[in-house]
Structure 1
Amino acid sequence: MFTKQSLVTLLGGLSLALAQTSSEEYPSLAEIAAKQASVQPFSPVSNVAGLSFDRFVNIWLENTDFDVAAANTHLAELAKKGLLLSNFWAVTHPSEPNYCASAGGDTFGMDNDDFHQLPSNISTIADLFDTKKIAWGEYQEALPYPGYQGYRYPESGDNVYVRKHNPLILFDSVTNDATRLRQIKNFTTFYEDLEHERLPQYMFITPNMTNDGHDSNITVSGAWTYNFLSELLENDYFTKDTLIMLTFDETDTYEIGNNVFTFLLGGAVPDDLRGTKDDTFYTHYSVIASLSANWGLPSLGRWDCGANLFSWLAEKTGYVNYDVDTSNLYMNQTHWGPLSDDDYSEYYAGWPAPLTEGTCSSGNGILSAVKKTWKDLTATFNYTSPFPYDSRSGNNVGVKYSRTLKNGKVESGVSR
């Protein structure tokens, strides 16, 4: 069995032993029990000021059409307290490629919910955050111990925790680092970090398979969300200068446009936008782009590069978002790539090359590690587009987009 080398780090004068963690798809019950007794969570703290928010909380629910979610009384009540993003889109189906996209800026052709380990030369948002030492963490309900890499937990019976809903655990660049691995924690640690005021500046929160609606319904997930957030919204430490996003990984119906119910809450929502809606076109990639613009971070050079920014953040940076004609857009499939099962996309062994030069919507260049790793290669796709498309497969082609710059110049295009 392959295990990663134990390390010892020093934090705040304390020596913390890092237990070995297994990358097995189904580790033994004895191994899981041993890790539960030995692996300690790591909760770094930072205070890097952002342009529009100082903390971002990303909460995802599962597989629900926009109108179904919008009709849920609990979610509707929460949305009224913040800003509804009425034109926010998931990027494909099924679940896992959307979670992968949220961390890596691409689906890499993934059209399945399989056990994946993306190679260490694929950069993620963790690498972006580390350029400015911005503390990040994931909180996965029912994760048996920090950094657990198994396919699910428990390993038999009803699903509770599943790897496919855990973005950063998919990437070797995270899991090969024992310290980073311990930043992927469970809800017990979330409440401990909240109590001791050591929450990170970026966090991704995944409820269990019942609470997120995957193995239940919107009534259950809506009630869970309301109960979870109502108390937190009264906590000044949690909400001060914080932007909380509640969204869905994808729609439940594959034949309609993949427009998912999404809203923003927290102290960082501008006062004049509370109780309103924003019709700007966004995708899961817009979150990465907005995080980069907010904290002055580089781009991954993938689909985050051309993604629209949160509208008020774009105004602060001077970036002009694109209007996208969604009448012919579905976002229900992904481009070809090495993680495809030849189901919703085409298998191709080569890894798509990102942009290494050019200007992205966040305005801060491209991550140096990306430029070094992929130098002299031409970008595989038009990553400067505000939405993903693939000319080879015809996925999302024929969609018009345009914007009017501040000097009056009109820029327009059609995905081909």
Structure 2
Amino acid sequence: MRVLAFLLALLAAWGQPSASAAATSRLPRIQHVFIIILENKGFDETFGPGSSAVYLSQTLTQQGQLLRQYYATGHVSLDNYVSLVSGQAPNPDTQADCQIYTDFVGAPGLDADGQAVGQGCVYSSFVPTIADQLAAAHRTWKGYMQDMGNSPTAPATCRHPALNSQDDTQSARDGDQYAARHNPFVYFHSIIDSPSCDRNVVPLTELPTDLERVSTTPNYVFITPNLCEDGHDAPCVDGRPGGLASADLFLQEWVPQIVGSRAFRHRGLLIVTFDEGEVSGSGFDSSACCNEASGPNTGAPGVTGPGGGRVGAVLVSRFIRPGSVNDTPYNHYALLRSIEDLFHLGHVGYAAQDGLAPFGNDVFNCYPRGLCR
């Protein structure tokens, strides 16, 4: 019955067309999307004058486009990752980072907006994700998680807490700074109940080998650094500075490998953004854009406001003019919708929201007029 319910939900999602044929025909034929998610920094700190992320704020922005009005969808952390891959809005447990790894409990199906109604952490198998959509369309995907394979007692792939147990990855450990809450794929039964989870949710150390050939590079690549190198911790448990300084070093190591790969050069798109803005202090930001809906399970996705704050994003592709700047408002749901459109998929969750604008020729401003490089 669970399999049947999931298939029906997925068919329903596919029944919501991604865009008109004319609209999708105007998009470049992107074949490989790479997403890197960093942690807890607002736009001004990252991209403003004096940013300690020099590689991100200066080098990468000159290679691609800076989205100055890109917003996260909630606080504290996990709810943003869930939104990025499923379009599901926050609920009180995901807003609290699911300290206890519990099943989502609620209505036995999705509401009219594609939302699961209830509360909890691990969504039922009838809640579709971009991973499920890609697999159904015979495209490939992988989540690459730094430090996932570093624990001597935990699985090296598809790593997550046991159901109804304490999440012991909430704090970094020396030599193992993996955080399950920054790995959205392990919060969906459609993924963790499948044998393919061990093939698709893997340590970051597997990425260089996969990048060696176009045929082994997934169509959809989701990269999560560890708690030090995503900028979350500062200082880090191993003595490194953390924050933007360590996040910038991570990008300097991994971005050249990605953009230098044949898969990226062959119709690739790189997206670097943050899960959410600041969650404490004077920089706390719970602003939103794009008429973000609060969802059925919480009145305030940003705890004290409608969203997760303005974080910005950088996009790099042969179809994007280097050094360009874009002030069109986008958020995590819009990013999900844009990726679905690039792969000619339906829309899931709030990616299907009426009036939500996906990336168009404002982003892909070197297409179809020819390459800018």
User: What does residue 157 of structure 1 align with?
Assistant: 173
Between structures 1 and 2, the one with greater helix share: 2
User: What does residue 313 of structure 2 align with?
Assistant: 262
**CA offsets 1:224-283 (integer angstroms, 9 cap, x no match):** 21222134323333332101000000111334530112110133x33xx32111111100
Aligned pair in 2 of structure 1 residues 106, 313: CA closer, same or farther (>3 Å)? farther
User: What does residue 22 of structure 1 align with?
Assistant: none
Aligned pair in 2 of structure 1 residues 68, 119: CA closer, same or farther (>3 Å)? same
Question: Does the alignment pair 1:122 with 2:127?
Answer: yes
Unaligned runs of 5+ in 2: 1-24, 102-120, 150-155, 162-166, 234-241, 288-308, 366-373
CA contact (8 A) 1:50 1:295 kept: no
Amino acid at match of 2:343: W
Deviation at 1:207, TM superposition (A): 0.6
**TM-score normalised by the chain length of structure 2:** 0.66
User: What does residue 343 of structure 2 align with?
Assistant: 295
Paired residues for 1:186-265 under 5 Å: 186-197=203-214, 198-215=216-233, 216-252=242-278, 253-255=283-285, 257=287, 258-265=309-316
Deviation at 1:85, TM superposition (A): 0.8
Aligned pair in 2 of structure 1 residues 162, 84: CA closer, same or farther (>3 Å)? same
SS for the counterpart of 2:218 is coil
1:137 and 1:157 map into 2 onto residues whose CA distance is 25
Deviation at 1:301, TM superposition (A): 4.2
SS for the counterpart of 2:350 is coil
Aligned pair in 2 of structure 1 residues 295, 196: CA closer, same or farther (>3 Å)? closer
User: What does residue 65 of structure 1 align with?
Assistant: 42
Deviation at 1:154, TM superposition (A): 10
SS for the counterpart of 1:139 is strand
Deviation at 1:196, TM superposition (A): 4.4
CA contact (8 A) 2:212 2:261 kept: no
Amino acid at match of 1:94: V
Aligned pair in 2 of structure 1 residues 266, 303: CA closer, same or farther (>3 Å)? closer
Amino acid at match of 2:133: L
1:225 and 1:301 map into 2 onto residues whose CA distance is 30
CA contact (8 A) 2:130 2:340 kept: no
Aligned pair in 2 of structure 1 residues 315, 156: CA closer, same or farther (>3 Å)? closer
Aligned pair in 2 of structure 1 residues 160, 101: CA closer, same or farther (>3 Å)? same
Deviation at 1:101, TM superposition (A): 0.7
CA contact (8 A) 2:134 2:141 kept: yes
Question: Does the alignment pair 1:277 with 2:325?
Answer: yes
1:112 and 1:133 map into 2 onto residues whose CA distance is 35
Amino acid at match of 2:128: S
User: What does residue 56 of structure 1 align with?
Assistant: 33
CA contact (8 A) 1:152 1:160 kept: no
For residue 131 of structure 1, the aligned residue among 119, 123, 136 is: 136
CA contact (8 A) 1:61 1:213 kept: yes
**TM-score normalised by the chain length of structure 1:** 0.59
CA contact (8 A) 1:152 1:161 kept: no
Amino acid at match of 1:134: R
SS for the counterpart of 1:230 is helix
Deviation at 1:87, TM superposition (A): 0.8
Amino acid at match of 2:329: F
**CA offsets 1:98-155 (integer angstroms, 9 cap, x no match):** 0011111013413211132211121111222123211111100111212112335598
Amino acid at match of 2:79: P
Amino acid at match of 1:136: W
CA contact (8 A) 2:67 2:327 kept: yes
Identity of aligned residues (%): 25
For residue 74 of structure 1, the aligned residue among 51, 55, 78 is: 55
User: What does residue 79 of structure 2 align with?
Assistant: 97
SS for the counterpart of 1:182 is helix
SS for the counterpart of 2:196 is helix
The number of equivalent residue pairs is 265
Deviation at 1:202, TM superposition (A): 0.4
CA contact (8 A) 1:50 1:294 kept: no
Aligned pair in 2 of structure 1 residues 131, 185: CA closer, same or farther (>3 Å)? same
